[in-house]
Structure 1
Amino acid sequence: MAFLAGFSSASQAQSLDAPNVVPITAQLTSSGQPTAKALEGLAAQGYEAVIYLAPPQVSDAVREEHLIIGRQNMVFVNIPIVFNKPTVKDYKMFAAILQGLGNKKVLVHCQVNMRASTMVFLYRVVVGKEDPGLAYEAVSKVWSPSGPWKQLMLDVLQKHQIGFEPY
């Protein structure tokens, strides 16, 4: 994915009914849990894939999300990351899936955009070779990772010899 490209359809992403919508590029957006109605309109906004990073049984999950996405002939992937136990394996799986989607327009979401913003940041920096300081701005719009999430970031960054201290 070309992550350095400008985001030309910010208004479309902003119309997504979900908490903490953060447009990254024209092809990538992260957010919290969209409403069922918002999910039903994703194909009309040009989305081709959804990566959902929370366990499907969390309280605010849209139970039929996989069916809603499937009916639109879109790709749906769920990586059920336990919030207080993210792993490097979770990141590797996420990175492989996102990379495999190529140039598809993708929505990466979780409940509030904490999991999603962090995983997208790591992907942008490790795979996309983006400047960590600039890429981290998207995370800081949502939260300041701490505990296991900050540790995950540090572990992945260190493994890839990327010097950056999340704040």
Structure 2
Amino acid sequence: MKLRRRDAALGLAAWAGLGIPMMAWGEGPLAAPNVVLITPKLVTSGQPSAEALARLGEQGFQAVVYLAPLSLPNAVKDEPGILARQHIEFVNIPINFGKPSAEDFEQVAATLDRWQDRKVLVHCEVNMRASSMVFLYRTLRLKEKPEVAYEAVEKVWSPRGVWRELIVAQLKQGGVAFEPY
């Protein structure tokens, strides 16, 4: 099953034509594509396997934000239950990949604001939604330098189209001068 999810993620990346560099699947403590450690308390990734989700409590995670619809084919259908059994809080913000919005960002930011003192995993299918939204959060809410925060995004992809437009618009609205590359 892990291989099938990996293949699905790679297929999505190829389909999108984005040239996404995929990190090794399942290496290290979190079995998921494109795992990026932002801080010891904030991690982004693509879809973890059910087995990896079942071990998040052992790794100290206290909250998970999933930024894709639970109905996607490679979503872990029992993710909310797997996390609840470990007393890990779960929020699903089902961002339409083809139409991300400022409202989506505000939901993500409000959730991360509430959980600043917890160890949080923010994930989606491949870490494109997650890396982009966490970049905006770090830049606009935490006031980190965009050049530094964007390094986590470029480990996963280079946002184009509607994602680049959203990032540029949010940065402009927040008075941040930065051009994503």
CA RMSD of aligned residues (A): 0.9
Task: Show the counterpart of 1:120.
Answer: 134
Q: Which of 28, 33, 38 is equivalent to 1:19?
A: 33
TM-score by structure 1 length?
0.91
**Paired amino acid for 1:158:** K
Task: Show the counterpart of 1:32.
Answer: 46
Q: Structure 1: how far apart are the matches of 2:41 and 2:67?
A: 18
For residues 96-147 of structure 1, what are the alpha-carbon distances to aligned partners after superposition, in whole Å with 9 as ceiling and x for unaligned?
0110112100000000000000000000000110000111000000000000
Identity of aligned residues (%): 54
Task: Show the counterpart of 2:116.
Answer: 102
Task: Show the counterpart of 1:4.
Answer: none
Task: Show the counterpart of 2:164.
Answer: 150
Instruction: Give 4+ residue runs of structure 1 displaced > 4 Å after superposition.
Output: none
How many residues align structurally? 155
Task: Show the counterpart of 1:130.
Answer: 144
Q: Which of 56, 69, 77 is equivalent to 1:42?
A: 56
**Alignment partner of 1:160 is 2:161:** no
Task: Show the counterpart of 1:9.
Answer: none
Secondary structure class of the residue paired with 1:155: helix
For residues 53-93 of structure 1, what are the alpha-carbon distances to aligned partners after superposition, in whole Å with 9 as ceiling and x for unaligned?
00011111000000001111110000000101000000001
Q: Structure 1: how far apart are the matches of 2:97 and 2:141?
A: 23
Secondary structure class of the residue paired with 2:159: coil
Task: Show the counterpart of 2:74.
Answer: 60
Secondary structure class of the residue paired with 1:152: helix
Query: Which runs of 5 or more residues in structure 2 are unaligned?
Result: 1-26
Secondary structure class of the residue paired with 1:43: coil
Secondary structure class of the residue paired with 2:87: coil
Task: Show the counterpart of 2:99.
Answer: 85
Contact 1:18–1:35, Cα closer than 8 Å, also in 2? yes
**Paired amino acid for 2:64:** V
Query: Which runs of 5 or more residues in structure 1 are unaligned?
Result: 1-12
**Paired amino acid for 1:30:** T
Task: Show the counterpart of 2:15.
Answer: none
Task: Show the counterpart of 2:22.
Answer: none
TM-score by structure 2 length?
0.84
Q: Using the TM superposition, give the Cα deviation of residue 15 of structure 1 relative to its aligned residue in structure 2, in angstroms.
A: 1.6
For residues 24-70 of structure 1, what are the alpha-carbon distances to aligned partners after superposition, in whole Å with 9 as ceiling and x for unaligned?
00000000000000000001000000000000111110000000011
